[in-house]
Amino acid sequence: MGKFDGKVVIVTGGTSGMGRGIAELFAAEGAGVVISGQHLERGAEVVAGIQARGGAAIFVAGDIATVETNQHLVDTAVAEFGGVHLLVPNAGILGLGGVLDGTLDIWQRTIDINLNAVYYLIKLAVPTMQNSGGGAIVINGSIAAYKGFPNHPAYCASKGALVSLTRQLAIDLAPTIRINVLCTGQVDTPLLWKSAQAFPDPATAVQEVAARMPLKRLGTPEDIARAVLFLASEDAAWITGAALTIDGGITAG
């Protein structure tokens, strides 16, 4: 038996990196998984891999920044699996560009995906979650909520807002729905390497970050997935409104 047998989870941005690791681990623990993304081939690949291992998953293509895509995710979860118990708003973009050289379009697109899309999914899914008996929400945030990074103003602002949103919604959604946010550090994913492009020597910058960590390595998608499943599980039944830092210790010093 899996820890999430009979549960249904929506994972946004589930076709690569942390989102893929989260989706795969939920499926391995028995959950029905609805994955969102914009790349049809990658989505099909993730679903096929989950199904080949005996799991249950379906992919929904679309722009997560729109209300329509978020509604489609909820509707698909209900139609395919009978309800929604768990949400993992994970999709995010970097929105690279400083306050002077970045465009207003970059700012708006980053806020739309990293913040507004999270709100849309929660707003649209909560009634179904309540009808399903309640559940848990785990937002994938970032240590950028607390720490500035060069040329990441929109990203840092959006991630900081997610911490405040989590604390507020913990009050509104209790006692039937718990909500927490992970403040993740540097995880070895395509997004990290894209972020490193803000530095003159990206490879050296990534190596230096790993060396500065007390645990002396980058995070892996599996590290994050295990933390998400903990917060979504009954093992975390008395945890809500929390921002859990998971960063190899880099913000400890």
Could you list the active site residues? Answer: 155
Contacts of 175 (CB under 8 A, 6+ apart): none
Q: Which helix (H) or strand (E) holds 89?
A: none
Instruction: Find the DSSP H helices in 53-189.
Output: 67-81, 104-111, 117-131, 153-173
Q: How far apart are CA 195 and CA 220, in angstroms?
A: 16
Residue 141: other Cβ atoms inside 10 A: 30
Q: How far apart are CA 176 and CA 165, in angstroms?
A: 17
Contacts 24+ apart (CB under 8 A), 233-240: 233/3, 233/4, 233/136, 236/136, 236/178, 236/180, 237/178, 239/178, 239/180, 240/170, 240/174, 240/178, 240/179, 240/180
The torsion region of residue 184 among left (phi > 0), alpha (psi -120 to 50) and beta comes to beta
